[in-house]
Amino acid sequence: MKTARLAAVLLPFFAAPIHAQDLPDIGWRVAAQFPQYREHAGRDSAWRTPLVRGSGSVLPLPEELPKPPEQGWDRWYARLAAPGESPYADWIGTWRDAWDEAKQRYDPDFLAYVRSDRVLVGLSVPATIPPPAACVWEIEGGERRADPACRGIETKASTAGSVVTLYDGERAVARSTVRPRRMVVLGLGDSYASGEGNPDAPTHWRDLPVNPQRLPYAESDSLDWLRFEPGAAHPNVRSGARWRDAICHRSFWNQQNFAAMRLAAEDPQREVVFLQFSCSGAEALDGLLVRQLDPPGIGVDDKSGCSAGRDPRCRVAYSQLAAAVTALCREHPRAIDAALRKRLEKRIVHHGGGKWEKLGAYREGKRRDAPYGLDLLDCGALRKPDLVLLSMGGNDAGFASLVAWALMPSQPRYWMTDGPFNALRAFAVICPEQDENWLGCRTPRANGYAKQLPPRYRVFGEALRASGLADDPRRVVLSSYPDPLRTREDPQTGVAGLCADETGQASPWYALNLFVPKVARSFGNWDFGLRNSGEGRNNRAPEVLTRHVLPGIRSALRESAKAQGYTYVEKIETAFEGRSWCDESEQERSRLGLPSDPRTAWNGSPASWRPYAPRARAIRTANDSYMTQLSQRSGDKNGAMHPTAEGHMLMAERVYAAAADVLSHETAP
């Protein structure tokens, strides 16, 4: 009996010890590969990957990603777009959203999680062992948690590695070092990054049948049925457009978001946190480095003071760089070094002996309650981003005003309105050098703005480095702008054609008339469109934009990226080739005009408009924009010549490829 007891005591010392490497590995993955919304409130709130209504995660499924990625993500887009609204539409503006629009910042709890070195992971019992009868998990640090159903638990693990052990009662049966990774992707830029033209929830029109003989809205040459007065209800609209951020027209449907989601889908043991601050209308010195003045959806019904910056409500709460530093700073951020500020301001006011254009947001707003000038911060304890996605330069180069030049009628409707027409033209447009008829064109012309891109990028680059957001400039991925008017290559000549509204009829883009004062169209709607032949000031608009203006802007962006060491996204100019402004299928042809256009066979009412259905063209027309994003807010009508949601995905394919290439050649910090 004594011998048996002695053997029982000594046996553990002579038996082969069970080391960690002898135990099977615990299964694990991050709980959310793309956290953006809060699952439940309270102390234990968890941030989750958004879901597509009825079809699971927003992240692409393996079968939705052909290889190479440049072949297209059509199946993924079709699934995302099927509900007709973005996956964010159900919870934007609520406590569930990581973005707090009312306060113009991300949720503090979300940011505390992002800045930490701990990631929420899900643990599972190894498939190689039977489920323990008494399942207990031990997380490094002493935490022990019972799991009666033995289905696995969620816990926070350190990015440096946390040892997790699974017990059956008191016997260890599995162990692993769980080492999750967190990638922070920062999104900065303008409307080609924010998603302009594509609200999370588009305008929902009432189901009113259209009778071509007797239109239910107004006379055939009137657009009053479409006009939305800020703050007033529209009799033909069930609900106006809603954005994740209505001030900046920022939504789910944008190239940066798609590229970040694609990166998140690659690795179930990596969490990709996407923080986006892009804003429609942003420029280097009006949004990126300066608090943006008069963004499209600022919500001020009376915008009389916005152009001069007198009303503090007319500005975004932070510059994009200041917002990013504030979000990622583990302590209270501070103002940038005074010497650096002075050096940057000296470059801005005078460059090469000449003054810069487009400095209104920087100079205006001198009252104390409307800050002006550079809005830049520094942080001594910054959670540095792993990747910065950037789209900047189009507004600096005046591209929106160049588009206005291209689309404006070649001459007024009646000779008696020639004076007001030229005045309107001079106010609205920037002309290219190729417009030989100078009437109505102000200086500088297009190349004057494009030449200022490299020095603006030098100021931006120095500010970005000083902020700590881009220690490695290669991780700044700069996207350019696609050609909106490039049709498919001719199989015989190999030359791409150019899109123009050369149908022999008046252009169907009537919605642009809503920018024209009603008195100026009292005799009928103006004929907006793109002409590449005939007479008139802009009779070669597609050729001038595609062959001269856009290449000049892209050349300046490429030069700027090279000088700053950024990664430039190549071949993005062909992203819309064959998906241009004029491209349409036979089925879509009847939807080019508006329901009140008697030449258009809508075969339904405005309620049948589906802005996110896959279609031939990847660019929004003015008609698309008004039908898609009207609301009671000021400015919700500016989406013309911006990508459709599908167009953003076409751009994202190239952005993702460039970003993935950078990340594959470097070790993540």
132 domain residue, yes or no: no
Mean pLDDT of 220-233: 72
User: Is residue 104's pLDDT more than 50?
Assistant: yes
Backbone φ and ψ for 250, nearest 5 degrees, come out as: -105, 130
pLDDT in tens, 148-165: 999 999 999 999 999 999
End-to-end C-alpha distance for the chain, whole angstroms: 62
User: Is residue 449's pLDDT more than 70?
Assistant: yes
* Token couple for 504: 């022999």
pLDDT at 631: 86
pLDDT at 527: 76
Mean pLDDT of 137-142: 87
H or E stretch covering 448: helix 446-450
Q: How far apart are CA 472 and CA 457, in angstroms?
A: 16
User: Is residue 282's pLDDT more than 90?
Assistant: yes
H or E stretch covering 465: helix 453-467
User: Is residue 9's pLDDT more than 50?
Assistant: no
pLDDT at 602: 63
Q: How far apart are CA 293 and CA 358, in angstroms?
A: 12
28 domain residue, yes or no: no
How crowded is the C-beta side of 172, counted as CA atoms within 13 Å? Answer: 19
H or E stretch covering 78: helix 74-81
Backbone φ and ψ for 255, nearest 5 degrees, come out as: -60, -40
Q: Which of 493, 128, 106 minimizes the C-alpha distance to 318? A: 106
Q: Which of 651, 447, 475, 654 minimizes the C-alpha distance to 564? A: 475
pLDDT at 505: 59
What's CA 445's distance to the chain center, in Å? 29
Are 179 and 160 in contact by the 8 Å Cβ rule? The answer is yes
Percent of the chain with pLDDT over 70: 82
Q: Which of 402, 396, 395, 399 minimizes the C-alpha distance to 425? A: 402
pLDDT at 279: 97
Q: How far apart are CA 184 and CA 119, in angstroms?
A: 12
User: Is residue 455's pLDDT more than 80?
Assistant: yes
pLDDT at 515: 76
What's CA 571's distance to the chain center, in Å? 19
529 domain residue, yes or no: no
Q: How far apart are CA 617 and CA 641, in angstroms?
A: 11
The tally of domains found in the chain comes to: 1
H or E stretch covering 264: helix 255-264
Please give the mean pLDDT across all residues of the chain: 84
The 3-class SS string of 333-388 reads CEECCHHHHHHHHHHHHCECCECCCCCHHHHCCCCCCCCCCECCEECCCECCCCEE
Range of the domain at 601: 184-396+446-494+553-664
581 domain residue, yes or no: yes
pLDDT in tens, 323-345: 999 999 999 999 999 999 989 98
77 domain residue, yes or no: no
Give CA separation, 525 vs 413, 520, 528, 592, in Å: 8, 9, 9, 16
What CATH number is given to the structural domain containing 615? Answer: 3.40.50
Whose tokens are 């998140």? That residue is 264
Mean pLDDT of 224-246: 84
Asked which of 17-21, 77-81, 192-196, 573-577 is least confident by mean pLDDT, the reply is 17-21
User: Is residue 487's pLDDT more than 60?
Assistant: yes
pLDDT at 433: 80
Helix axes 399-407, 418-428, angle to 10 degrees: 150
437 domain residue, yes or no: no
pLDDT at 300: 61
Q: 3-state class of 446 per DSSP?
A: helix
pTM > 0.85: yes
Mean pLDDT of 527-554: 80
- Give 650 or 414, the one with higher predicted confidence: 650
307 domain residue, yes or no: yes
Q: What is the dihedral of CA 607, 608, 611, 616, to 10 degrees?
A: -160
pLDDT in tens, 48-58: 999 999 899 99
Q: How far apart are CA 285 and CA 358, in angstroms?
A: 8
User: Is residue 647's pLDDT more than 90?
Assistant: yes
Contacts of 236 (CB under 8 A, 6+ apart): 205, 206, 208, 217, 225, 606
Give CA separation, 263 vs 387, 474, 575, 594, in Å: 11, 17, 20, 39
Mean pLDDT of 293-297: 88
596 domain residue, yes or no: yes
Are 73 and 575 in contact by the 8 Å Cβ rule? The answer is no
- Order of strands, sheet of 135-139, starting from the edge strand that comes earlier in the sequence: 143-146, 135-139, 162-168, 171-178
Give CA separation, 254 vs 196, 289, 319, 402, 553, in Å: 8, 22, 20, 23, 21
Peptide bond into 87 cis (omega under 30): no
Neighbours of 582 (CB within 10 A): 22
Q: How far apart are CA 572 and CA 655, in angstroms?
A: 8
DSSP assignment of 2-50 equals: HHHHHHHHHHHHHSPP--GGGSPPPEEEES-SS--EESS-STT--EE--
